[in-house]
Each structure stands twice: as C-alpha cells, then as structure tokens.
Amino acid sequence: MLKGAAEAEETVAKSDSAARLEPLPLTVIAPPSGWTNLDLRELWRYRELLFFLIWRDAKVRYKQTVFGASWAIIRPFVTMVVFSVFFGGLLNVPSDDIPYPIFSYTALVPWSLFSSGLGRCAESLVSHANILTKVYFPRLVLPIAAGLSGLLDFAPSFIILLGMMVVYGMTPTINVVWLLPFMLTTLMTMLGVGFWLAALNVQFRDVSFVVAFLAQVWLYATPVIYPISLVSDAGKALYLLNPMASVIEGFRWALLGKGMAPSLELLVPNAIALVLLVTGALYFRRMENYFADVV
C-alpha cells in the first residue's frame, strides 16, 4: 500500500520534472547579422528531407522517357564512343598505351558525376522557388540533394566500366580502394562550386549560362580526353590546382594502373576542394536569408 503510494508520487514527480526539463524549444527570429555559422546540427536534423529529395529525384528523373534509367548509361557511353572515334581514332590522341575507349570512359564516369551534379546544384534553388517561398528548412539541403542524386547515375555507369574492364582483359587490383577518397574529392569540389553557383543563381540568372560554359572549359582543363603525361612538368604543377584533374588521373591509376599514383602532392587539390566547400557553404548561408525575397 505504502509502496504503491510512493511509486505514484515518484511518477508524478517524474512527469513534472520532465515537463520542466523539456519546455518547447524557443526559436528567435531576428534580422540577418553578417556571417552566420554553418549550423550543421540543424542540417543533420533534416537528413530525412535530404533523403526524400534524392529519392524523389530518382523516382521522377526518368519518368515519361522511353529509355528510362538506361539514360544514365547511354550518355557517358555514347560520349565515350564519340571521343574514341574523333580523338582516339582521327586525331590519334595518345592514351598511355591503354585502348582509347576504356581510357576515356574511365575518365568520363567520374567526370559525368561531377559536371551533371554541378549543373543540378546550380539550378537547385531556382527550380525549387515554389518551396523556398512557402516553407522553412535549411536551404543547403537543396543543392546537397541535387549534387548527391548524381550518384544514382554513377552506379550503373560504373558497372558498365567494370564490364568494359572485363572485355579488355584488365583485372582490378587492391588499388580500387583509392576510388573512395577520389569520389570524396569529386563530391567536395562539386558541392563547393555548386553552393557558390546555386546562391549566385538566385540573384543572377546569368549563372545558368555560365554553368554550361564553365563545365566545358573545365573539361578541357582536366585530362579527360588526353593523358596528363602529355603535359610538361611545369604544366603538371598547374593541374594540381584542379581537384578534378587529380580525380581523373587517380581513377585511371586505381583501375587501369596508368596515370598519376597518389602521393603527398594530392594534399593540394584536396585542400582546394575543401576550401571551395567551406567557403561555398558559408557564402550560401549568408545569402540564404534573402533567397525567399529575391528568387
């Protein structure tokens, strides 16, 4: 009897203290004040939205197309065929003694991930203007989802790459584990530049035109069509400034055994990628206060 009363009292005390311990969270809304912090914790709370955005993109992207998801394979594959005919065949571009088709396709797989992701990032805010002006959530979710959804296309085109290696009689070595850090560099660079472009695009629609142009120039500045061995030693130092150059050469090295082996030099492009990512995110957070007013 006594025990029961004590228990009841304890529950009362508990629920009472629970109510006191967990008041409803207070949100303070105040004018924007210069540079804000990244607030990654809030971003983490919205991870399900990130997941849903990617999932929706996967569901919708190839709806009402005849070829459906095979577009993910067709695009890099046909590009590879075109490159092989013109650059490998007609122009006789050297390819580090590797058959030109697999030489270029190995580069095109990460490059497509990068360039199409960049384009989607840049458009992510503008194309979601209707959501931006109606409901609050950390805006960074949009470019991140747009960029990461490129991984859905990456997977099938990578499987084709493995198939081509079998056809050309190449066996992957343990070096393939290096693909993971290279992927990371790709995503960092893509999101970093993507954050900048997405935020700028809200105010300046010029960005939409710049992106296509940028991707094209960047393609030539990256050893996709040609091997980096074609470049002089002085020029190679310059290529270190381009994170995607190290990624492409790294992919070739990890899968085909030719190209640039990872070395300490890789710290430079990765540092650049990291700087792009952090500054891009900071700029984005600073500008996001105005997105809904301007978009």
Partner 1 sequence: MSETSIRVENLSKRYQIGAQRIGRATLRETMSAPFRRARRLLRGQARSAADLLETFWALSDISFEVNQGEILGVVGANGAGKSTLLKILSRITLPTQGRAETRGRVGSLLEVGTGFHPQLTGRENVYFNGSILGMNRAEIARKFDEIVAFAGIEQFIDTPVKFYSSGMHVRLAFAVAAHLEPNILLVDEVLAVGDATFQQKCLGKMGEVSSEGRTVLYVSHNMASISRLCTRALWLDHGRLQLDGPAEDVLSEYLSNNAVNTGAREWPNGVAESGVDELKIYAVRIRNSDGAVSGVLDVRRPFFIEIEYRLFKHIPRNFRVGVVLTSSDGIDLFDSYDVDNEALVGPREPGRYVSRCEVPGNLLKPGRVVLTAFGGMWQIRQLAMLRNVLTLDIEDLGGVGTHFGGKRVGVIRPELEWQMERLA
Of 205, 220, 261, 275, which lies in the binding site for partner 1, with binding defined by CB under 8 A? 205
CA angle 204, 121, 265 (to 5 degrees): 110
Q: Is residue 295 close enough to count as binding partner 1 by CB under 8 A?
A: yes
Residue 205 three-state SS: coil
Judged by CB under 8 A, the stretch of 106-114, 146-154, 198-206, 245-253 that binds partner 1 is 198-206
Cβ-based neighbours of 15, under 8 Å, separated by 6 or more:
none
Pick 178 or 283: Cβ nearer partner 1: 283
Could you tell me which of 108, 208, 202 has the C-alpha nearest to residue 161?
A: 108
Compute the least distance from the CB of residue 190 to partner 1, in Å: 23
Q: Is residue 66 close enough to count as binding partner 1 by CB under 8 A?
A: no
Compute the least distance from the CB of residue 43 to partner 1, in Å: 13
Could you tell me which of 261, 119, 247 has the C-alpha nearest to residue 183?
A: 247
**Sole residue written with tokens 């508990």:** 14
Site for partner 1 in 137-196 (CB under 8 A): 137
Of 204, 216, 265, 271, which lies in the binding site for partner 1, with binding defined by CB under 8 A? 204
Q: Is residue 56 close enough to count as binding partner 1 by CB under 8 A?
A: yes
> How far is 265 from 126, CA to CA, in rounded Å?
38
Q: Is residue 232 close enough to count as binding partner 1 by CB under 8 A?
A: no
- φ/ψ bin of 130: left (φ > 0), alpha (ψ from -120 to 50), beta (otherwise): alpha
Site for partner 1 in 115-144 (CB under 8 A): 128, 130-137
The site map against partner 1 for 11-30 (x = CB under 8 A) is ------------xxxxxxxx
Q: Is residue 32 close enough to count as binding partner 1 by CB under 8 A?
A: yes
Cβ-based neighbours of 153, under 8 Å, separated by 6 or more:
72, 112, 113, 116
Q: Is residue 294 close enough to count as binding partner 1 by CB under 8 A?
A: yes
Residue 271 three-state SS: helix
Of 52, 67, 86, 168, which lies in the binding site for partner 1, with binding defined by CB under 8 A? 52
Size of interface with partner 1, in residues (CB under 8 A) = 38
**Number of residues in the chain:** 295
Compute the least distance from the CB of residue 18 to partner 1, in Å: 15
> How far is 219 from 12, CA to CA, in rounded Å?
67
Compute the least distance from the CB of residue 280 to partner 1, in Å: 19
Output the six-digit token pair for 248.
């492409």
Residues lying near partner 1 in the complex (CB under 8 A):
23-32, 46, 48-49, 52, 56, 59-60, 63-64, 128, 130-137, 202-206, 289, 292-295
